[in-house]
Chain A
Amino acid sequence: MDFNVIIENMPLYVEGLWVTVQLVVLSLIFGLALAVPLALVATSNSRFIAFWPRAYIYFFRGTPLLVQMFMIYHGAGQFELLKESVLWVVFKEAYWCALIAFSLNTAAYTSEILRGAMEQTPFGEVEAAKAYGMSRATQYRRIILPSAFRRALPSYGNEVIFMLHGSALAGVITIVDLFGAAKIVNSRHFVPFESFIAAGFFYLCMTFLIVWIFKIAETHWHASIHPRKEGGKKKGGAAIPA
């Protein structure tokens, strides 16, 4: 194997890496912004109201991201009305289509995580909030949502990793993300092992980075859930009472 080709093409990989980071971060932000209202409506007591976000969640979780992306990128051209409108500026660009598909997809998964976390809110917390005379909106803002976010943290970490891996699909529709860069290097120099292993290595590093970030976030936000570690430097050693 000859990794000199990879070093020569490093600028391309870095460019692709940057596009991947952009796509992932932006779709996570849009996805989360969409997921909160979706989860709130999906937990509504009215069956009719809760049906719509649940149908949305069901559709996006039950179908492959690739098909969703194709529906938006390739499928948009089917609608003449859309083609003639101002929106076409967005839908003709592969980048925006990928971003829309990723955001809608992660919104569905995230809202399902949030919905689960919200339904697990201990009854006592809500009861206490009510006893304090909080309005429903205040209850959500101060008690239910913060506590749900905290409980959702580990599952959300997984979702972020899935989004990172899913973002490789952008390379399929001509976007030069990390996978797209590997594809270009492979087709120029015909080095499938080196080109894709290099991309895989970058993805692996980013995965580790995400895992590490969420570990730190969990020790911070879950401080109230995990029992405090006993003092003393020795791990597992019995603390000697003074």
Chain B
Amino acid sequence: MFDLHGYLPLILKGALLTLEVAVLSLLIAIILGLIGAVAKLSGSWIAKLIAGSYTTVIRGVPDLVLMTLIFFGGQILVNDVGDSLGWDYIDVSPFAAGVLTIGFIFGAYLTETFRGGILAVSRGEIEAGHAYGMTSIQVFLRITMPAMVRHALPGFSNNWLVLAKTTALVSVIGLQDMVYIAGQAGGATRQLFAFYFLVAILFLIITGVSDIGLRWLERRYSVGVRKA
């Protein structure tokens, strides 16, 4: 019943692109999340205000709306800036728009995750670091960050799984990920259900494998923690 007519390699190529988008946007999200968390916990009210509005606005607006805004709006912005600087026409690629938007969105979610993780690090560990004469940056890099990982991992795992699924949206702005290719292949062979089902299974494999990996990580980072 489900004959793929030799489209499987193309779909798998699309799956690779999906993974690329996911991993790159995760990197952006981690960086933004760390900056956001530190800003939220800092003493500066300006940093708090900026980070607070960032997380509130981003988490209150659908990802699809943000993505189209950045894709179509970004094009105009780049054109305007380019015009005034005398550049040639620059095309905003759906790849860049997709990665930037998803990274930007999940940066907001990770801000909250990391903030919770940092707050869960015991005060004594941080005080001990200061007592050793470490600078604030050293304390953050050597003590807070590594100790935070265990507390932040469950939330992080959750966000990664949601992020991986969100990458499907890049097909809407024309990036040829596996959802997009499935639509093309399914349209050509009049088997749209079969191809979308295949993509669904591929997503299940991605989420399933990352679930196993993340659980392993959680166990590793919880070594030495007594369980109730």
Contacts and interface: CB of A to CB of B under 8 A. Distances in A.
B89 interface: no
Interface in B41-71: 57, 59-66, 68-69
A78 interface: yes
B62 A168 contact: yes
Interface residues of A, number: 39
A71 B196 contact: yes
B60 A208 contact: yes
B179 interface: yes
Given A62-B203, A172-B172, A204-B61, A75 B197 contact: yes
Interface string A166-181: 1111011000000100
Interface stretch (B126-134, B144-152, B162-170): B162-170
B155 interface: no
Interface string A68-92: 1011001111110000000000000
A68 B65 contact: no
Given A67-B203, A200-B69, A76 B193 contact: yes
A64 B166 contact: yes
B204 A171 contact: no
A197 interface: yes
A179 B168 contact: no
Among A70, A169, A193, A207: residue with most chain B CB under 10 A: A70
Interface in B162-189: 165-169, 171-172, 179, 183, 186
B76 interface: yes
Given A67-B179, A179-B62, A204-B57, A196 B69 contact: yes
Q: Interface SS of chain B: helix, strand, loop or mixed?
A: helix
B183 A62 contact: no
Interface residues of B, number: 39
B199 interface: yes
B179 A203 contact: no
Contacts, number: 118
A192 interface: yes
A183 B68 contact: yes
B200 interface: yes
B33 to A, nearest CB: 19
A168 B179 CA distance: 18
Nearest to A186: B72
B68 A169 contact: no
A64 B197 contact: no
Given A64-B166, A168-B65, A171-B64, A196 B73 contact: yes
A38 interface: no
Given A78-B190, A186-B72, A67 B64 contact: no
A76 B161 CA distance: 27
B69 A166 contact: no
A103 B14 CA distance: 28
A66 B169 contact: yes
A165 interface: yes
A18 interface: no
Interface in A38-83: 58-59, 62-68, 70-71, 74-79
A77 B192 CA distance: 8
A98 to B, nearest CB: 13
Contact of B193 (A58, A66, A78, A168): A78
A200 B193 contact: no
Given A62-B204, A64-B165, A182 B171 contact: no
Contact of A62 (B65, B179, B208): B208
A164 to B, nearest CB: 8
Given A63-B165, A199-B65, 7 more contacts: A64-B179, A66-B172, A166-B62, A168-B62, A168-B64, A168-B65, A192-B69
16 contacts: A58-B204, A62-B161, A62-B203, A63-B203, A64-B169, A65-B165, A66-B169, A67-B199, A68-B200, A75-B197, A78-B191, A79-B193, A172-B64, A172-B172, A193-B73, A200-B69
Interface of B: 57, 59-66, 68-69, 72-73, 75-76, 161, 165-169, 171-172, 179, 183, 186, 190-194, 196-197, 199-200, 203-204, 207-208
Q: Which 5 A-B pairs have the closest CB atoms?
A: A75-B193, A192-B72, A64-B168, A165-B62, A168-B62
